[in-house]
A and B are shown apart, each in its own frame.
Chain A
Amino acid sequence: MGESELIQKARAGDETAFASLVEVYEKKVYHQALRLLNQPEDAADVTQEVFWKVWQGLPHFQGSAAFSTWLYRLTDNACIDLIRKEKKRRGDVPLEELPPDGALTIDAAPTPHEALERQELHQAVEKGLSALSEEHRRVLVLREINGLSYQQIAETLDLDLGTVKSRIARARMALSKFLKRAGNFSASSPSNDAERR
């Protein structure tokens, strides 16, 4: 059964069809939330909340927007709301100072040496991603984790295409700087100009 058929059935209250949609998108939503929140428990809670909202709102869903774009937007909104509530509760601690949580699965690698290198690289990238500003992290997660096109990111975050393009470039530059400071990636020394633009 295709996705649009599943959506139609779920709109009509078919829980089995909705379960299939959950199966397709559960990991993507959870992963997006995990990269934005850095806390597995919070990411699970947000995933649950998002799917409940989707289920409740499906009767109003017109299908003129991509289902996935709607889903990722709800996830982004839920995460940002949670981040801001936490910031308020903690007294506005900058996100960059939050300790990243490392409870993540690393892909298996063929040799112990490669595994170690890959693990180090993944951990560095993971830390770097969590150290980015909220603005940079959101676009990079949607691009690299969720695999959205620039157009889809623009729709999800209500940005124009030019902003998406420049923000992703700036996010990459910021991540490069973090990784260089952490001792990863020494291929080049980008100037600060892109950040200032």
Chain B
Amino acid sequence: MHDAYIELISAALDGELSAQQRQTLERHLQECPACAALYTEWSQQSAALRALDCKPPADLKDRILNGLPAQDAPKRRRIPLRWAALAGCAVLALVIGGSALRHLDRPATLSGGGDPMPISEDVGGAPVPYSDEAEDDLPSPVSEGPAQSRVMGGDGVPVIPVPLQLTGGEAIRVTYGSVPVSDTALVIGSAESLAQYLVLFPEDDLSALSARYDDAFFQDHTLVAAVLEASSGSIRFSIPDQVVQDAIDIRFSAPEVGTCDMAAWLLTAEGDRTAEDGQRIALQESAAQGERSIQ
């Protein structure tokens, strides 16, 4: 038996050889009884494997169809996040990727203080409701003066070729102002890449992440990471379980009364190996279920 021909024999059985490779192999098999015997043996083995059968439970299809969960909402157009005058606090501007995704009904003043500030105390009036207006009704960011409107993260980021399953989303508060804010999520495909990424958080102890996501984890998984900043630590972000191809759905919730401390969050979720190390995926946002929509 010749080791150089073992992979060729295997690939020949699978129809994965070029014409030239097949000719080379055929010539060799005529001259080498050991390799010819291996070819025969693996042919029989392969035929036996392909002949294996199974019988799914008779009620399996019904189980699947009768218990179908709610289908995800159809893919949304990525729209600017509109902070329509959150009551009280002069502004709770969500900053993603360094872009203020504000679309305010009135001029905004950012508060950089860290003290908790009841939202209802500042403006002295009744709480202003969140806006439900349609995107097309939005005034132009240019004509609106201080108001800004940005598409959240990554227009132009290519969709990933194979859908990526994300589970186990987690949010870790990290140090505002010294973290790698980006308008896209990063796919991390190895423990080494994770270590390199965590260097970008010099003021945060993220050793728990390094310990949890080791080489064994990355054999069959990726880790997707995104860093968001918000002008209130009261805003909560999460990455729900989802199948991703063009953009990751980031959920957030904002309480009626919040703090005006600037905050940064490292969001992670475990992915399968569909995406590649270093790949970027766009972000899109939606309000958490049960919260008032701020889109």
Point out residues on A near B: beta carbons under 8 Å. Answer: 11-13, 15, 18-19, 22-23, 26-27, 30-31, 34-35, 40, 44, 47-48, 51-53, 55-62, 64-65, 69-70, 73-74, 77, 80, 104-107, 118, 121-122, 124-126, 129, 140, 143-145, 147, 149-150, 155, 157-158, 165-166, 168-169, 172-173, 175-176, 179, 185, 187-191, 193-194, 197
B46 close to A58 (CB less than 8 A) = no
Stretch from B51-59, B87-95, B128-136, B174-182 at the A interface: B51-59
State the total of A-B contacts with C-beta under 8 angstroms.
Answer: 196
Given contacts A107-B51, A158-B273, A172-B45, 11 further A-B contacts (CB under 8 A): A44-B63, A57-B163, A60-B72, A62-B245, A77-B272, A80-B220, A124-B48, A172-B42, A176-B42, A185-B44, A193-B6
What 1/0 mask marks residues of chain B from 218 to 247 whose CB sits below 8 Å from any chain A CB? 001000000000000000000000111110
A107 close to B53 (CB less than 8 A) = yes
Residues on B with C-beta less than 8 A from A147 are: 50
A60 close to B75 (CB less than 8 A) = yes
A-B contact pairs, 19 of them (CB 8 A): A22-B65, A48-B60, A48-B63, A56-B69, A56-B70, A56-B72, A59-B71, A59-B75, A60-B244, A61-B163, A122-B51, A122-B52, A149-B16, A158-B276, A168-B14, A187-B44, A188-B34, A191-B1, A194-B3
Decide yes or no whether B161 CB sits under 8 A from chain A. Answer: yes
A17 CB, min distance to chain B CBs, angstroms? 12
A47 close to B243 (CB less than 8 A) = no
Q: When chains A and B are docked, how far (Å) is the Cα of A118 from the Cα of B47? A: 11
Residues on A with C-beta less than 8 A from B38 are: 187-188, 190
Considering the complex of A and B, which 5 residue pairs feature the smallest CB-CB distances, nearest first? A57-B243, A158-B273, A188-B37, A169-B10, A187-B41
Decide yes or no whether B124 CB sits under 8 A from chain A. Answer: no
Q: A65-B163, A188-B34 are in contact. Are A165 and B10 (CB under 8 A)?
A: yes
Most-contacted residue by chain B among A11, A55, A61 (CB, 10 A): A55
A104 close to B75 (CB less than 8 A) = no
B56 close to A125 (CB less than 8 A) = no
A30 close to B159 (CB less than 8 A) = no
A61 close to B245 (CB less than 8 A) = yes
- Choose one: B3, B11, B52, B242; the contact of A197 (CB below 8 Å): B3
B residues 1-48 in Cβ contact with A at 8 Å: 1, 3, 6-7, 9-11, 14, 16, 34, 37-38, 40-42, 44-46, 48
Q: When chains A and B are docked, how far (Å) is the Cα of A176 from the Cα of B190? A: 33
Q: When chains A and B are docked, how far (Å) is the Cα of A48 from the Cα of B72? A: 17
Residues on A with C-beta less than 8 A from B55 are: 104-105
B56 close to A27 (CB less than 8 A) = yes
Residues on B with C-beta less than 8 A from A169 are: 6-7, 9-11
Residues on B with C-beta less than 8 A from A56 are: 69-72, 242-243
B65 close to A185 (CB less than 8 A) = no
Residues on B with C-beta less than 8 A from A194 are: 3, 6-7
B10 close to A172 (CB less than 8 A) = yes
Residues on B with C-beta less than 8 A from A173 are: 6
Decide yes or no whether B49 CB sits under 8 A from chain A. Answer: yes
Residues on A with C-beta less than 8 A from B246 are: 60, 62
Q: When chains A and B are docked, how far (Å) is the Cα of A62 from the Cα of B162? A: 9
B residues 160-176 in Cβ contact with A at 8 Å: 161-163, 165
Q: A22-B64, A60-B75 are in contact. Are A34 and B54 (CB under 8 A)?
A: yes
A104 close to B53 (CB less than 8 A) = yes
Decide yes or no whether B68 CB sits under 8 A from chain A. Answer: yes
